[in-house]
Every structure is written in structure tokens, then in C-alpha cells.
Structure 1
């Protein structure tokens, strides 16, 4: 029987890497990592674990057609290309994402999962119009939904893993501090434990997309493990670590796209207030959402304790 290949983008990043390992551990599907640089150390580690490595450049559709050939499904994710550029101004996520969709359609991919975020411009009624990387991901999502491919999108909040991946949890003389621009102590954020809930969701969608009764195609699934303030997250962190963990409002970044991103999340409580926590649609598919307490005990305490 032919392998059920799932081509994964961002295979060395937080999302894609977690998806690759979930596919390996589950065994139902065969992961294929689509990478720009097959000679990096991170890619060599994947290859040593038995992952098929295929070179593909997201900005060159023809290379993606060859890379995706034979895939049953695709997990698509892009990262901001700095300096951020609008459509027509240079390389950007909109071109990258559309190329993945077009290539997937050309080779007959049966199901496409897109990692996205909502349009902040739409949510704010035009108040925040400079969050280019969000707008481009959202535009790719609309393009995918109009493509004719069976599809689903996931929307992510603030990555809990940023505690160590972006040094958000900083050591102080008395413990630690969490500093975030534009957030007050009472503003809520939608937090996503990426390495826990993203792979669980991707597996659930892949295993159920062929069942019409599940009504998966065309849906968008926000993934929120908790919707709380950074100050509350800091307090919970302190209890687990047994030290003082404070929250402070960091200075503005000075880049309109990033400052408006933080402002919009603060103003609209993380953007996903219409979705129950945990997402009941995904719970119905068997997805289990880890709690903040579990995240702190299993991920933060071993690293910072």
C-alpha cells in the first residue's frame, strides 16, 4: 500500500517540527519535510530520524510542484520575510502562500491545512491596517478557500514557547520578568501551546477530513489553550517556579506592523473571544488541549526551575 504522504512546511520551526514528530509517532501518515536548505544541521537531524527531505523554495512555484508531487495532504506555514513588503514590492508571505496552494492544486493534493491568523484590519474596522504579516496570511487563507481544494485553517495566538524561544521570560535579581509592548496588566491574550495543540489538531484533521459528517473542509479553527492576562501568566509562573515573576509593559518597538500587532491583541483580548476555550469543534474531533498549569510544569519548570 502506498504511503499517505503529508508534506510539511516549516519543518525546522516550532509548528512544522512538532507536526513532523507527531506524524512520525502516530504512524498513519508519512511526513515529508519541504525545506529551502537541505544541508542545515536541523534538517540533517530530521533526516537521521527517517524523515524524507525534499528541497522546495516557496518563492518559486515550479520547485514546489516537484516537491509536493505524490502528497495526499499539505501542512502549509510561512514566516514573515523582513523587511515586510506589500504585494508587488518584493518577496512576501502572500506570494509564498499562494505558490504553495497553486502547487498543491496542480499535483492533486487532496487536503490542505493552512496555519494562519485573522485579518486585524477587518477585526478593527480599519483602525489597525499596518499588520502586513497578518493581512498576508489571511489573504492566503481566502485564496485557499476559493481554490477548490479541500482545506482547513488553524489560527494561533501568542506562542507560550516564546518564554524561551524569544527570551520572553527574563531573569531578574529576585526571579523573572515578562515584558510585553502595549499590554497592560489587565489586557488578555490568547495563548497557544504550539508544540502540544498544533500537532494534536493536525492529526485530528488529517484523520477526519474524508468523513463528510465532520464538515471539516472550509473551516477555520482557532487554537487557544488559555485566554488570560500576561500578568496572570506571570503570577502562575511564579507559583510553579517558587520565585517572584513580574509583568511590565515594554517600550514600543518602533515598527508599525509589530506595534499594531501588539496593540490589536491587547485591545481585542487576543483576537479570539468568539471561540470557546477549549475549541469545542476540535474537542469533538478528539483533540485534548493542555492547560497553562501543565505547560508550566512540563515545559517551563525544567528549563527555568
Structure 2
């Protein structure tokens, strides 16, 4: 008998990866949940044989309906685009004294709680895989209170443990490492800079001495598949390689042939790269990962090799070799 996996936010990077992996697995039916089944990405998945249904994380009943009969649910939320790419259409009206950064945190946390409320009603459920990140405020002992795009996801885990202990027993957590593709979002995301002589420099806040789990986001589906093959209760950190920034820059330079160096910088300096709190948010994330580890040094975290199943991953060397770096290398020098 086929099992049903329901993928929330199926057109996203993680969701589409999960869908594509399970399309090649026998014994599975796939249902994808999206706010707009008519958009091209939704139609493309439907053409592959995936059932696409409408569901909105602001509408708990629509998520409940989409989850009927699920054996496995993959849940994922995204920090609102209004933060990284504000436009007249997506910029919200803020409450008095509220920052856009806070609004985005509260919105994503609400969406995550709504998803948890819906998943908790699924009586056919074997496994809930929640795409989360470490709780920066908690694991830093209150030093880093502004890594909102981490804490909004992590607090959903706390919510499930506190409100739905039965669901918590059927949950595994997936912590995707730092997306190695984030350089495409610009300098505030990954602070590469081209010098006037054509060489490159990467300046990252923090000590730069702590290895960072780097992952190709399209590998998400392989990690989710692995979690379906082992008992629930795992807290998995997903990465292709865990290396320091200096090691990454050295590897990047060797493969591309472009001279490059790594330099340490500060949260305050990085924050200047983007207004509206975005630069500061990313800067605090980098510094937190250096001071406490990307996963907060949470003792419950395991890596893929500890699961006891084969998990195909893209090594960072392979990614660098296959990536088109022309967009980065054509950036204006200093």
C-alpha cells in the first residue's frame, strides 16, 4: 500500500527538492501544498504527477484539509520576502514601535504554529519533519536576540513540545546548513567583494575559526528521505561539508583560479551593507555561528552519517566546480 507524503510549501527550494526525490521512490504518493496552484512552478510539479492542493499557512483549516490521510508531512516556512526584498506590494503596516524585522519574525512564527496545529490533527501520521534552525537566543544565553529567521523556526519546536507532546514523539527536525547558494542574494547575504585588481575578498563577522555546515539547498530531499528511514526523534544538521570560512575561500580560489582572501569583520561593519535591519540580521547570524556554532552546539544534534543510512550529498568542492560564478565576478570592484 502506498504511503502519502504531504509537502507544505512545495514550490520552494526545500519543498521542490523533497518532491523530486520522492518522485523516484516506489511506494509513495506525493501531495504538494501551495498558496497558488495556478502558478507555473505549481503546474510544473503537477505535470510530473504530483497532486497539488491549495493551502495557506494563515488558514489553518486549509492546511488541515490538505493533510488528510498523510503518513509523512514535511513542513517548512519562509521568512517573509518583505524583509530581504521590500516592495510597495509586500511591505506591511507595522504596529507602533514594531520593526519590520519583528513583524517578519512574528509572521513566520504564526505560520509555523498554524502548521503545527494542523499536523497535530492528522491521525494517520507516522512522521512530521519540521525544517527548523537552532534557537540563537537560547543557545547564546541571550547574547544574540536578533537572529529572528532562526528563532522563528526554532520556537515552533518549543511550541510543539509544550502543546502537542504526542506530535513531538512523531517529529524529527531538519536543520539545513548555511545555503552555499546565498551569494546570489547579494553582498549583504554573503559578503564577497571584488577588488580593483580583480581579486576577491570575503569578509565575515566573527572569529572565522569555527567550521560552518555548508549545504546545497537542493539536497534537502535526500535528508528528508533519510529521516523517513529511521525512527522519529532525530535533530539532523544537513550539510555537504563543515569547513571554516578561510578553508572555503582557499578552496574557492583554487577551483576558480581567482585570487581570493578571507578577512574577519564585525557585526557593526556588516550591518552597513543593507538598511532596514537586514544587514544586521545576517551579521548577527554569522557572529552567532562563530561564537556558539551554527547549530548552537545543541547536544541533541546529529549529522547524516550518524543515521546509519546512505544520504547522497553534494560536496562543496563539486558545487564550486559546477557553479556559474560570472554574476559574482562581474560585480563592481573597489
Q: TM-score, normalised by structure 2?
A: 0.76
Residue 132 of structure 1 is matched in structure 2 by 148
2:221 is the alignment partner of 1:202: no
Task: Give, in whole Å, the separation in 1 of the partners of 2:54 and 2:75.
Answer: 15
Residue 162 of structure 1 is matched in structure 2 by 182
Task: Give, in whole Å, the separation in 2 of the partners of 1:95 and 1:28.
Answer: 34
* Within-5 A mapping of 1:140-219: 140-146=156-162, 147=164, 148-149=166-167, 150-164=170-184, 168=190, 177=200, 179-183=202-206, 185-196=208-219, 198-208=220-230, 216-219=231-234
Q: Give the match's secondary structure for 1:62.
A: helix
Residue 252 of structure 2 is matched in structure 1 by 237
Q: Give the match's secondary structure for 2:77.
A: coil
Residue 319 of structure 2 is matched in structure 1 by 295
Q: Map Cα deviations across residues 232-275 of structure 1 (whole Å, 9 max, x no partner).
A: 21221121222223445573245254332222113234335567
Structure 1 residue 36, shift from structure 2 partner? 0.8
Unpaired runs of at least 5, structure 2: 84-99, 330-334
Q: Give the match's secondary structure for 1:135.
A: helix
Cα distance change of structure 1 residues 299 and 100 upon mapping to structure 2, 3 Å threshold: same
Cα distance change of structure 1 residues 90 and 261 upon mapping to structure 2, 3 Å threshold: closer
2:112 is the alignment partner of 1:97: yes
Does the 8 Å contact 2:229/2:309 carry over to 1? Answer: no
Task: Give, in whole Å, the separation in 1 of the partners of 2:40 and 2:196.
Answer: 35
Q: Map Cα deviations across residues 44-94 of structure 1 (whole Å, 9 max, x no partner).
A: 2212222211110001101111111122111001111243336xx995122
Structure 1 residue 6, shift from structure 2 partner? 0.9
Task: Give, in whole Å, the separation in 2 of the partners of 1:129 and 1:304.
Answer: 31
Task: Give, in whole Å, the separation in 2 of the partners of 1:16 and 1:140.
Answer: 18
Residue 72 of structure 1 is matched in structure 2 by 71
Residue 97 of structure 2 is matched in structure 1 by none
Size of the aligned set, in residue pairs, is 293
Task: Give, in whole Å, the separation in 1 of the partners of 2:196 and 2:313.
Answer: 34
Q: Map Cα deviations across residues 86-126 of structure 1 (whole Å, 9 max, x no partner).
A: 6xx99512211111121122132331000101111111111
Does the 8 Å contact 1:57/1:63 carry over to 2? Answer: yes
Task: Give, in whole Å, the separation in 2 of the partners of 1:21 and 1:166.
Answer: 28
Equivalent residue in structure 2 for 1:251, among 270, 277, 287: 270
Task: Give, in whole Å, the separation in 2 of the partners of 1:269 and 1:175.
Answer: 32
Cα distance change of structure 1 residues 285 and 302 upon mapping to structure 2, 3 Å threshold: farther
Does the 8 Å contact 1:84/1:133 carry over to 2? Answer: no
Cα distance change of structure 1 residues 193 and 277 upon mapping to structure 2, 3 Å threshold: farther
2:258 is the alignment partner of 1:228: no
Tell me how large the CA RMSD over aligned residues is. Answer: 3.1
Q: Single out whichever of 132-141 and 71-80 deviates more from structure 2.
A: 132-141
Residue 85 of structure 1 is matched in structure 2 by 102
Does the 8 Å contact 1:131/1:260 carry over to 2? Answer: yes
